[in-house]
Structure 1
Amino acid sequence: MAWKLHGDGNVVSQDEIVLPEERLSWIRTIGFGAQHVVAMFGATFLVPLITGFSPTATLFFSGIGTMLFLLITRNQMPSYLGSSFAFIAPIMAAKAAGPEGDLSRASFGILATGILFALIGFIVTKTGTGWINALMPPVVMGAVVALIGLNLAPAVKNNFMSNPDHPNSTPIALITLGAILLITVLFKGLIGRLSIVLGVFVGYIAALLYGAVDLEAVEKADWFGLPEFHTPGNPFADPTLWGLLPAFLPVVLVLIAENVGHVKSVGLMINRDLDPLTGRALIADGLSTVLAGFGGGSGTTTYGENIGVMAATRVYSTAAYWVAGIFALSLSFSPKVGALINTIPPGVLGGVTVALYGLIGLIGIKIWIDNGVDFSKPVNQFTAAVALIVGIADFTFEFGSVIFNGIALGTISAIVVYHLMSGITKLRK
């Protein structure tokens, strides 16, 4: 892989951008790659911390997935693949339905989701995205994305509120949340964009002062070692695993929305039509998620945090993302890093997730706004209303060994209500 040197490799003037096929000097490229690692780190490590997955395995597949994405998109699409928050709800449901501490069931769900996602990517390369828009118009897509974030609200409460095992969770959560909000409004540029990870740092310091952090495992952990991999469950040996799919597969809709949005955003910023790369982006993210499912990592997605870094620096070089992927891969071989991440207490998680999960919900609302969804129309009103209540209340329905949770039922509700009401309306005209 060869990148054309931009100018003298040292300076980017205010009216210039560094294109994907260009790079600055390697010293500066390494610096920009390190910025992308910092930008992704806060969100990427939160998923294994919340779900119980291995932080080192998650970092490993995040780095591998990023490099795979760059290869499949032919180095034309700058992107970092970090942990997807859309997987948190189905992972928690899978854990609750199996033996305590068993993550193989959730890994099977991630693997199956990745396979479906990659298949959709292959179809999109041949047919385009028109059929996706027909099946899931913006009102449906927005409702599904919103309910996946809001479905997690009860988990936020459990971490936020103090209890006998964690008596200081509430004050720690409030300090963490307050730090995130203050950093967001007081600082601009990269610092403001890193408000989540910096807020976690402030909350962690508060937790240390409250005596809520146990560092014994960090002291015992080795500096270097293999990531903590595990294999997915076998659905042929345990048929109950098939019952997890209704909870996991709707996540594909979120991943599609995030990837399509990423392609369009980058295209606008560098003034190029990157839509022809959409299918390749979906395939790459799908295969990355498949690898993660095989080895015990979290499912991946393109990261808005890193789009923010590109917008702030005007450097879109894929060379910087290769550096970021190598950095993440290197960190995954330090058990001490994984042990340190696992010491973050529930109070800090409660503070960060009360904002984070709400923001996931707002992404769905943003889809409605950006696409001008008209809520004066009853079909749009009832599509969103029914889906959101079903998802937030976490309705469940058992059909034999298959259990449909709130995410699956909310997704089905949105699609059925929209197309049923639209179809009847058209017949009456």
Structure 2
Amino acid sequence: MSVKNIFAWNVHGTGNIEPGGVVAPDERLSMPITLGIGMQHVIAMFGGVFIVPVIIGFPASTALLFSGIGTMLFLVLTANRVPSYLGSSFAFIAPVAAVAPLPQGQSTLDAGSLAIALGGILITGIALAIIGAIVHFVGAGWIREVMPPVVTGTIVAVIGFNLATTAKNQFTAAPWDAVVTLVTIVLVTVLFRGLVGRLAIVLGVAAGYLFALARGGVDFSNVRHAEWFGLPDFHTPTLTAEVWGLFLPIVLVLVAENVGHIKTVSVMTGTDLDKYMGRALIADGLSTTLAGAGGGTATTTYAENIGVMASSRIYSTAAYWVAAAFAVLLALCPKFGALTASIPPGVLGGAGVVLYGMIGVLGARIWVQNRVNFSASTNLLTAGIGLILGIGDFSLTVGDFSLGAIGVGAFATIIVYHVMRAVSRRRRTDPDLDSASPEQQADGPLLEPTH
């Protein structure tokens, strides 16, 4: 497909959306409507994109810049046929916190710690791109064979619950700030639906920030001195094999998220997008690699933007170009980056309790949606062993190579599952691993997209 054809959207009807109408990925509406839908995608992705760098101490403007650039790269490599926004990945919070913990009372990492974390992000992006190339030429069937729902659900749960200590440390730094943030998030989620409900995290952080401001707990000195326009802060990575064991297991989650995203969008649009699965993985891998090379957070496909498409029934990739362009423009405002960096630790702790808990429970949701049969000993032990190893913060060190709790939990989950399955099949014990039929298991989504 030529570049000219990639950027040639068909105008949908008269350029307006009729009641009940559906706008396909290769179509667009009139420019004012396209801009409006694009801004909806900006609002949907913004909370996740900026909260991740703030929590781990990365420069928020830099993360936003690579998020926009990564989305553009994704759209080009998937020939503008897979509507998706690449935002900051929550899966990397745990390994970054392990190798570069944010010092108590500080909002940003020092250059050395940040460089080490970026090295881990970069190597994970390369690994994801390699897997994408394999999927492109071989197919994706082997992914589900290696990572069935009981495995992916356990790994996602481990990532979320492993962060409980991080949330506690931030929470106790300023408990009242954290409580105000947490209560606001809960109330907004319960009381509101639609767009406001989707922005519960952002509104909770805003409420906690204002409370901290009222009691004098916010330092505005960097905000006052920051320029309105300028390039964000770029940083170079430090590659050290000692931390690779902490980061590389996350590639399993990124694969699952991308595959789940492709499957979900295929169902929504009524189009088989499996042929773009390898390209999507390559694009996300390259986007993450690029972010790691320059100082941004790792990226992944965002479920929030799927919500916008589900409500509007507008799947036009033109709207995603609008969102990506706006992200790049906003990243060129250093004052915005300084403002996000001034968010107090207690506020982040309140948000962290919600976010980390949600990530953990998403793992359980994968089990439920795929009807994993926990009366089967193989599934029960696979999940149980992986969870305890990950949540209990077990680690493994061999020479200079170190494998953190998430890595230990992830690889143990995969190994236990496949060893037990092989033995049980050979001896014909515990054969019923899934309550769903083989046909349902083959057709169902590997994993709903999360971040």
Given residue 4 of structure 1, which amino acid in structure 2 is its aligned partner? Answer: N
Q: Give runs of aligned pairs for residues 3-402 of structure 1, distance below 5 A.
A: 3-13=9-19, 15-96=20-101, 101-102=111-112, 103-162=114-173, 169-233=174-238, 235=239, 241-402=240-401
Distance 1:91 1:47 in 2: 11
Distance 1:341 1:12 in 2: 40
The CA RMSD over aligned residues, in Å, is 1.6
Distance 2:227 2:214 in 1: 26
Distance 1:324 1:12 in 2: 23
1:8 deviates by 2.4
SS in 2 for 1:374: coil
Deviates more, 1:69-78 or 1:17-26: 17-26
CA change 1:93–1:56 in 2 (3 A) is same
Given residue 42 of structure 2, which amino acid in structure 1 is its aligned partner? Answer: V
SS in 1 for 2:237: coil
Distance 2:18 2:123 in 1: 43
Distance 1:37 1:336 in 2: 19
Deviations 1:338-365 (A, max 9, x none): 0000011112111111111111112211
1:426 deviates by 2.2
The answer as to whether partners of 1:190 and 1:312 remain within 8 angstroms in 2 is no
Partner of 2:431: none
- Spell out structure 1 runs of 4+ moving beyond 4 A: 96-101
1:230 deviates by 0.7
CA change 1:161–1:96 in 2 (3 A) is closer
The answer as to whether partners of 1:150 and 1:358 remain within 8 angstroms in 2 is yes
Given residue 344 of structure 1, which amino acid in structure 2 is its aligned partner? Answer: I
The answer as to whether partners of 1:69 and 1:284 remain within 8 angstroms in 2 is yes
The answer as to whether partners of 1:193 and 1:308 remain within 8 angstroms in 2 is no
- What residue ranges of structure 2 are gaps of 5+ in the alignment? 1-6, 104-108, 429-451
Distance 2:18 2:62 in 1: 36
Deviates more, 1:16-25 or 1:150-159: 16-25
SS in 2 for 1:232: coil
TM-score normalised by L of structure 1: 0.94
Identity %: 55
CA change 1:49–1:111 in 2 (3 A) is same
SS in 1 for 2:222: helix
Distance 1:228 1:271 in 2: 42
SS in 1 for 2:81: coil
SS in 1 for 2:402: strand
1:171 deviates by 1.8
Aligned residues: 416
Given residue 108 of structure 1, which amino acid in structure 2 is its aligned partner? Answer: G
Deviates more, 1:181-190 or 1:108-117: 181-190
1:12 deviates by 3.4
Given residue 408 of structure 2, which amino acid in structure 1 is its aligned partner? Answer: L
1:100 deviates by 5.2
- What residue ranges of structure 1 are gaps of 5+ in the alignment? 163-168, 236-240
1:59 deviates by 0.9
Distance 1:374 1:26 in 2: 49
Partner of 1:2: 8
Given residue 296 of structure 1, which amino acid in structure 2 is its aligned partner? Answer: G
1:101 deviates by 4.4
Distance 1:193 1:47 in 2: 16
The answer as to whether partners of 2:96 and 2:117 remain within 8 angstroms in 1 is yes
Given residue 157 of structure 1, which amino acid in structure 2 is its aligned partner? Answer: K
Distance 2:334 2:394 in 1: 39
The answer as to whether partners of 2:154 and 2:383 remain within 8 angstroms in 1 is yes
The answer as to whether partners of 2:389 and 2:408 remain within 8 angstroms in 1 is yes
TM-score normalised by L of structure 2: 0.89
